[in-house]
Amino acid sequence: MYQHRRKFLLILLLAGMGTFCQGAGELSTGFSAGRWLLVFSSLVGGLGLFLMGMKMMSDSLTKSAGSHIRELLARLTQNRFVAFLIGIFATMVFQSSSATTVMLVSFVNSRLMKFAGTIGIILGAAVGATITIQLIAFRLADYALSVIALGFLLYVISKQPKLRSISLTVVGFGVLFLGMNLMSQSIEPLRTAEGLTFILLQLENPWAGILVGALLTALIQSSSAFIGILIILAGQGLLTLDASVPLMIGANIGTAITAILASSGGSRESKQVALAHTLFKVIGALIIIWFIPWFVRLITFISPPELIERQIANAHTVFNTLIALAFFPFTGFYARFINRLLPVREEKHASLTAWYLDEGLLQTPALALGVARQEVLRMMEIAERMTEEIIIPFMEKKTDVLVKIRNREQELNFLRDAVNGYLIKIIRQDITSRQAEEAYQMLYAVDEFEQIGDIVSVTLYDKAESWCRSDHHFSVQGREEILDFHLKTLKIMYQTYKTFGDADLKGVRKGAKKSKEKYSHYRTLFFDLEKQHYERLKQEVEESMETSRTHMEIIASLKVIGSHATNIARILLKEEKNGGESAHRGKLEGHPGG
């Protein structure tokens, strides 16, 4: 609530600055340096409101639809039609094709997606971005304050989070048009500035227009804002359609700078996403530049002749749709082409590194939870490998594997701290109760698998060292029992891994119930093995008597490991005890900065 109040105050401040500067500008009669400063200040104030409105719309829509985007991406196949539609939908939510591309860069960098699967989304994003421009082209600036008032009233009376998100979207929409109105009013006096008119006419040169459009869009990092300014200039009679089209094409190239900056320092695959997005825009511009006169004629033919704002919006829609459709049949070839230009090399990760966590995704908790889950699954893999390897010293009396186990334990501890810290940052965001529950489940899972690591690296590790130094050997039956119980322990861990990584809620519940059923049989087997071992002791089997303590400690330790793995199934079924929840809440409250 406090964050939203600050947004409203900032909006009022920007509106006040813009109105003051515009009003002060009306008092001046000549184009002196002071007048130019007032016009510039009013223009910047209007641009600030425009960008603030877009951000409010994007943030509100992302909050309500971010989880759906994540689920769509989790189910995404190589079907390019589905990817294309997802690109359109995602860009409608994020209100920016560059924002969608930045999301793809983060996903590929965090290994949630493969580069080849992003091509269709990039093409769809180009089409989705045109919807925002079509909305901007409507002459709704006069109703901006009414729209803001409506959104604010909805926000005040609504209590449900979804309704509040909708109300903030409405407010953002109104603020966007309020910014448009202020910019339009600030530019209106410039119609009499002959020098400016002369400069704008020079932009009818296609190459000059594309260059200026690309540079200015790269500077403000919003093609929607730049094209919005074009619509205002054209509406004031300062810009022709012939000059607007090259500037619009340049804006499509300039918007790629955001993805390029986002990919810097990322993986090579994430750089491929930025390169594919940039080349797509550049190639489209190089194709259309030779046909601009015919393109302009097409736009004037299909658009109302008296509405140049609608003509610019239609030009943007037709251009992006045409280049997307032109690339669409060749998505596979285009992906291979990018691979040839920027081949992916095998990247060697340092052991103590989080592979998936991305600070840039924290603003979208639904997506941040997805990469956190990937890192938890990585912890599960490490714990499973440690459990698999620890049996080797007992069976073969080889100590080489113990070094690997010690290194894996250090990696597990590092990931425990990294994942817990990341999840705490997510919890401190404005998240839903379902997202908070998901974060809590991951905290619980991290704790359980870290404890498995401790059992292997401390209890069984020390026992393995002393066992390798001894001359003792398990009996044939005792050896088979340990190996069989060890295999069943690994199967329980694998079932938990499979269940935890399932994106489908029904699949999670089914897998969690299966884990609990398996553990019930597993626990019964443990007691049977105890009885069988004691029977051998009664029969005074020499090997069993010598190895009795080690035999039972291995079996007991494996049982505890299986229990920890099954505890995760219990938390997924929401059957955990209150004590566990309280313990994790205490951990959160005691965390530095909490």
For the residues of 85-114, what is the DSSP string, one character each?
HHHHHHHHHHT-HHHHHHHHHHHHHTTSS-
Q: Each residue of 221-240: pLDDT tens digit?
A: 888 888 888 888 888 888 88
pLDDT for 186 equals 76
State the residue for tokens 């004031």: 236
**CB atoms inside a 10 Å sphere around CB 279:** 15
Is 105 contained in some domain?
A: yes
Is 594 contained in some domain?
A: no
Confidence check: pLDDT of 546 > 60: no
Answer yes or no: do 282 and 424 share one domain: no
Answer yes or no: do 379 and 310 share one domain: no
Q: What are the structure tokens assigned to 196, written together? A: 């400016």
pLDDT for 586 equals 39
Name the pLDDT band for 279 (thresholds 50, 70, 90).
very high
Is 348 contained in some domain?
A: no
Confidence check: pLDDT of 180 > 60: yes
Answer yes or no: do 316 and 371 share one domain: no
pLDDT for 579 equals 37
Q: Are 154 and 163 in contact (CB under 8 A)?
A: yes
Q: Each residue of 480-502: pLDDT tens digit?
A: 888 888 888 888 888 888 777 76
Rounded to whole angstroms, the Cα distance separating 534 from 551 reads 11
Q: What are the structure tokens assigned to 106, written together? A: 């983060």
Answer yes or no: do 329 and 376 share one domain: no
Q: Are 375 and 357 in contact (CB under 8 A)?
A: yes
Answer yes or no: do 312 and 456 share one domain: no
Domain CATH code at residue 541: 1.20.58.220
Answer yes or no: do 181 and 144 share one domain: yes
Is 354 contained in some domain?
A: no
Name the pLDDT band for 34 (thresholds 50, 70, 90).
low
Answer yes or no: do 55 and 184 share one domain: yes
Which domain-ending residue is among 287, 310, 341?
341
Answer yes or no: do 332 and 378 share one domain: no
Is 199 contained in some domain?
A: yes
Q: How big is the CA angle at 93 (ends 326 and 81), to the nearest 5 degrees?
A: 35
Among the ranges given (30-39, 274-283, 372-381, 483-492), the one the predictor scored with the smallest mean pLDDT: 30-39
Q: How big is the CA angle at 359 (ends 356 and 360), to the nearest 5 degrees?
A: 105
Which domain-ending residue is among 279, 311, 341?
341
Q: Each residue of 412-437: pLDDT tens digit?
A: 999 999 999 999 999 988 777 888 88
pLDDT for 514 equals 61
Is 350 contained in some domain?
A: no
pLDDT for 19 equals 43
Answer yes or no: do 368 and 337 share one domain: no
pLDDT for 530 equals 63
Number of domains the chain is built from: 2
The chain-wide mean pLDDT, for the chain, equals: 77
Confidence check: pLDDT of 17 > 50: no
Is 352 contained in some domain?
A: no
Name residue 260's amino acid.
Answer: I
Answer yes or no: do 385 and 299 share one domain: no
Can you give the pTM of this predicted structure? 0.69
Q: Are 122 and 305 in contact (CB under 8 A)?
A: no
Name the pLDDT band for 547 (thresholds 50, 70, 90).
low
Q: What are the structure tokens assigned to 425, written together? A: 């940052």
Which domain-ending residue is among 312, 341, 370?
341
Answer yes or no: do 444 and 399 share one domain: yes
pLDDT for 424 equals 93
Confidence check: pLDDT of 536 > 60: no
Is 357 contained in some domain?
A: no
Q: Each residue of 251-266: pLDDT tens digit?
A: 999 988 888 887 877 7
Answer yes or no: do 137 and 261 share one domain: yes
Name the pLDDT band for 37 (thresholds 50, 70, 90).
confident
Name the pLDDT band for 93 (thresholds 50, 70, 90).
confident
Domain around 568: 362-589
Rounded to whole angstroms, the Cα distance separating 516 from 500 reads 14
How distant, in Å, are the alpha carbons of 1, 107, 293 from that of 93?
22, 17, 34
- Percent of the chain, pLDDT > 90? 19
Per the model's pLDDT, the better-predicted residue between 295 and 466 turns out to be 295
238: DSSP letter: S
